[in-house]
Amino acid sequence: MVLGVVIGALVTLSVMRYREKKHLLHTRDIDWCKLTLILDIVDKNYVDTLDKDGMTDAAIVAALSKLDPHSVYLPPIQLEASEQDLASNFDGIGIQFNVPNDTAIVLEVIPGGPSEKVGLLPGDRLLKVDDKVIAGVHFPQDSMVRRIKGPSGSKVTVTVKRGPDVIPFQIVRGRIPLYSVDASFMLSDSVGYIRLGKFSRTTYKECHEAALSLSNQGMKKLVFDVRDNSGGYLDQALLLADDFLQMGDTIVYLEGRHRDREVYKADGRGIFKDIDLAVLISEGSASASEIFAGAIQDNDRGIIVGRRSFGKGLVQEPFYLSDDSGIRLTVARYYTPSGRCIQKPYGGDTDYGFDIYNRYADGEVFSADSVKIDSTDVHRTRSGRLVYGGGGIMPDVFVPMDTTRASSFFVQCNRKTSQMRFASAMFDKYVKRLSVIDSFADMDAFLAEAGLAQQFRAWVKAKDGISCSDAEWASTVPYLEPQLNALVARYSKLGENAFYKYYLPMDDTVEKAIELLEF
């Protein structure tokens, strides 16, 4: 009984002390002090050993989650990967590869890079990185990339299969250039095409040089493709837009609670101010891509073709911490020349992370009538055309995603990645011919002679057991053959230019842009 009294007294005392401390917590009114005080209490009183780094990271992530979706904390590894993705170079061996059937196949060897210097070739199968087997064991592709990459000057042994031979290559890693222009070539005698994959540090220089090259080839009109370009550096979007706009045209303006309005205007020195322009966008076009497209649209400088863009109108600024981590913090909103902020809604009941999936589910990507436009947020372009804010850039000409042409045969082949594996087999078959082709004229001649579509029909029946009727084959060939041509042509010296050149005939958005430019 005495013991019970003693314990009761101790509990009462503890409760009294808790109430005193609770009162202290409640009455302190200095910003952010509560969080610091609680962590200090945990540190001094918690029963077990603490993972302070983990708790700190968790607290930061939880705090930033109360802001917008693009204000994020990046631990050291993620920060490095994020910055490398937007850099103009990285450390590695200088190859591009894909994994069509559990074995990585080299698609491209970057000119002047470490792999080219030791003799790696397109079509080589990657078997091992140092002593780690990566072929035929379902090795994760991201892990494969991490093993191949490494500090400049370090060595790695890559073992490849080339025909019947197994060859180990010792490669000294070096600085590898990353390009943001995926492809640039002439679609016709007067229409050029540039596909921009991201806004990196070298984007303006690459695009400017690509456009100059196309101009020298007779380009009078340009299809500029930023579909699925998720953005990047703001300054590169400004420089790029400046190349196409007249002196004094507004490109974009920024404004935030702690950021005074900053207006960016064209300086008039751009050399492509008079070229006819069509800009292609999609639901994957975001941020810097939307700045560029919005500037072109609001100034009535060109025609925007495709589907509604992502809708990211928030500006992030990096802040770096001493442990090599950092945060990307939203500091302003950007506004197109007509004054619209195209940031889509977030917070509350908004399912921000699944917005793109919802567009598919709601039918928006298939029909312009299903697009959700904020009719209360109305703005006008320079000529008085209506445009809307609050959820991405709506194109001037909507081109729906077309899934009606995909036959059962085509779908079955896609599920087994038959086309990619067939392309690899065709490289093996025509390696001597493909490895020397460096012009579209020569590639046209090769493709006409090879008859890849008919070869594929026989190959996929033998390898994958997939067949179809003559009627289904006839309906499938028009959009299957460009894909096969593109995948095989990619193995030549023409690389990604060849892929896009031969793939575009099945691209309705490009076809519509050409039609509009030539009207």
**Domains within the chain, CATH numbers bracketed:** 89-177 (2.30.42.10), 187-315+331-398 (3.90.226.10), 408-517 (no CATH)
How many Å apart are CA 133 and CA 117, to the nearest integer? Answer: 23
The active-site residue, picked from 282, 285, 287, 418, is: 287
The pLDDT of residue 87 is: 62
The active-site residue, picked from 298, 355, 396, 507, is: 298
The pLDDT of residue 428 is: 86
How many Å apart are CA 504 and CA 491, to the nearest integer? Answer: 17
For tokens 């793109």, the residue is 356
Contact 250, 264 (CB under 8 A): yes
Contact 274, 220 (CB under 8 A): no
The pLDDT of residue 85 is: 63
Q: What is the pLDDT of residues 230-287, one digit of tens each?
A: 998 999 999 999 999 999 999 999 999 999 999 999 999 999 999 999 999 999 999 9
Q: Report helix, strand or coil for 142.
A: helix
- Contacts of residue 468, defined as CB under 8 A and 6 or more positions apart, other chains included, come to 407, 408, 409, 476
Within 292-428, strands assigned E span 303-306, 314-320, 326-335, 378-380, 386-388, 397-398
Contact 104, 125 (CB under 8 A): yes
Contact 318, 328 (CB under 8 A): yes
The pLDDT of residue 19 is: 44
Query: Using alpha carbons only, what angle is made at residue 359 by residues 302 and 385, rounded to the nearest 5 degrees?
Result: 30
Query: Using alpha carbons only, what angle is made at residue 104 by residues 103 and 109, rounded to the nearest 5 degrees?
Result: 155
The active-site residue, picked from 198, 282, 309, 312, is: 312
| Residue 155: active-site member | no
How many Å apart are CA 100 and CA 420, to the nearest integer? Answer: 6
Alpha-carbon distances, residue 263 vs 250, 252, 256, 271 (angstroms): 7, 6, 13, 22
Alpha-carbon distances, residue 5 vs 10, 12, 14, 17 (angstroms): 9, 10, 14, 18
Contact 212, 181 (CB under 8 A): no
The pLDDT of residue 179 is: 85
Contact 518, 221 (CB under 8 A): yes
| Residue 377: active-site member | no
How many Å apart are CA 308 and CA 319, to the nearest integer? Answer: 31
Identify the DSSP state of 449.
H
The pLDDT of residue 88 is: 58
| Residue 132: active-site member | no
What is the pLDDT tens value at each position of the chain, 519 positions in all? 443 333 333 343 343 444 444 445 454 455 778 888 888 999 999 999 999 989 999 999 999 999 999 999 998 878 877 776 666 567 888 888 888 777 888 888 877 788 888 888 888 899 999 999 998 888 887 788 888 888 888 999 999 988 888 999 999 998 877 789 999 999 999 999 999 999 988 999 999 999 999 999 999 999 999 999 999 899 999 999 999 999 999 999 999 999 999 999 999 999 999 999 999 999 999 999 999 999 999 999 999 999 999 999 999 998 998 888 899 999 999 999 999 999 998 887 778 888 888 888 889 999 988 888 888 899 999 999 999 987 899 999 999 998 777 899 999 998 888 998 899 899 889 989 998 999 999 999 999 999 999 999 999 999 999 999 999 999 999 999 999 999 999 989 898 999 999 999 889 999 999 999 987
Contact 409, 472 (CB under 8 A): yes
Helices (H), 65-191: 76-86, 114-118, 141-148
The pLDDT of residue 460 is: 96
